[in-house]
Structure 1
Amino acid sequence: MRYGYARVSTIDQNAATQEEALTNARCDMIRVEKKSGTSREGRSELETLLAFLREGDVLVVTRIDRLARSIADLQTIIAEVKAKGAQLQCTEQPVDTGTAAGKAFLDMLGVFAEFETNLRKERQMEGIAAAKERGVYKGRRPSIDRDQIHAMNAEGVSPTEIARRLRIGRTSVYRCLGRVAG
């Protein structure tokens, strides 16, 4: 069996191009999901495909970054595929875990996918820092009104009652008041 896996990161992205490539690669079954590739968490379609794999099967993706964005996740997925006696192939990259050259190329692509993710995170953090300096970005609004907590406490309202009235955790009240809970 040839199983195709397509993934896009956001809802507004379209996996049609990947699905077409996987159909052209003669996949018997294609699973598609809209989830981030930075983690395996919550990627139920990938988990389903990995559970289906049997000896002699092939997992097909268009590019390695559709499968994983971290070298650790990629290696874990490859180990699972190999343990089942299956192979991994890419339609747009010369990756075929059935050959030594394909395995080596796979490892290099995994390193670059993780590098790209780390670069994106760095650029995002730089952008946030620059926006903070310009006063454009202030982060999210505080969900706890510290003045209100202190005022209620000054009136003699217990931390438990303050938490109930403000619909926040009691630990948050204690933290705001500078006390140790319990």
Structure 2
Amino acid sequence: MKYGYARVSSEEQSLDIQTDALNRYGCDLVRGEKISGTSRQGRKELENLLDFVRAGDSLVITRIDRLARSIGDLQDIIKILEDKKVSLICTEQPIDTSNAMGKAFLNMLGVFAQFETELRKERQLEGIAKAKKDGVYQGRKPDMERIAEVFNLKHQGVSNTEISQRLGLSRSYVWKVLKRQGELFAS
């Protein structure tokens, strides 16, 4: 059996192009989902397919980046498929893990997919740094209700660790809020 898997990163995007291509390729069943590919976490349709495929089946995708965006996730998925004796086929790239050339090409494309993800993260961080420098990016607005809760508990003699646990906040956030209070009263 041939099982198709389609994925896009957001709800606004359409799976139609991928599902059409997978149906044309002859997939017996096509599953799709709208979720980021940077992690396997939360990708229920992919997990269902990985659980369901059996020896001799093929998992078919249009491009390798539809399956995984990190080399670690890609290798994990490939290992699962290999253990089950299931081949991976890519319709738009020369990947068919039933042969050595397909496996080699798959690994190269996985490295490039992860490289692209890392470059995107770097560009995002550079953009945020520039926006902060220009005074455009201020970060999230303070939650005055939460800050008041922190102050109230502190005035009751509750420890910073206990405050963080009660309010579901990180200890560093509690310290930051209390430090700012000290700076306000010092000036």
Question: Post-superposition, which runs of at least 4 consecutive aligned residues in structure 1 deviate over 4 A?
Answer: 169-174
Q: Which amino acid aligns with 1:130?
A: K
Q: Which amino acid aligns with 2:147?
A: D
Q: Are the equivalent residues in 2 in contact too, given 1:159–1:170 (CA < 8 A)?
A: no
Is the aligned partner of 1:158 residue 2:175? no
Q: Are the equivalent residues in 1 in contact too, given 2:95–2:103 (CA < 8 A)?
A: yes
Distance 2:169 2:75 in 1: 43
Aligned counterpart, 1:81? 81
Distance 2:7 2:67 in 1: 7
Aligned counterpart, 1:129? 129
Distance 1:169 1:96 in 2: 48
Distance 1:19 1:39 in 2: 21
Give the paired residue count: 172
CA drift at 1:141: 1.7
TM norm structure 2: 0.83
Distance 1:48 1:147 in 2: 43
Moved more, 129-138 or 139-148: 139-148
Q: Which amino acid aligns with 2:130?
A: A
Alignment of 1:2-151 (within 5 A): 2-143=2-143, 144-145=146-147, 149=151
CA drift at 1:63: 0.2
Q: Which amino acid aligns with 1:159?
A: V
CA drift at 1:5: 0.2
TM norm structure 1: 0.85
RMSD: 2.6
Distance 2:78 2:174 in 1: 47
Q: Are the equivalent residues in 2 in contact too, given 1:5–1:46 (CA < 8 A)?
A: yes
Say which SS state the counterpart of residue 6 (structure 2) adopts. strand
Could you tell me which runs of 5 or more consecutive residues in structure 2 were left unpaired when the two chains were aligned: 180-187
Say which SS state the counterpart of residue 31 (structure 1) adopts. strand
Query: C-alpha deviations, 1:134-156, integer Å up to 9, x for none?
Result: 1110111233437971x875xx5
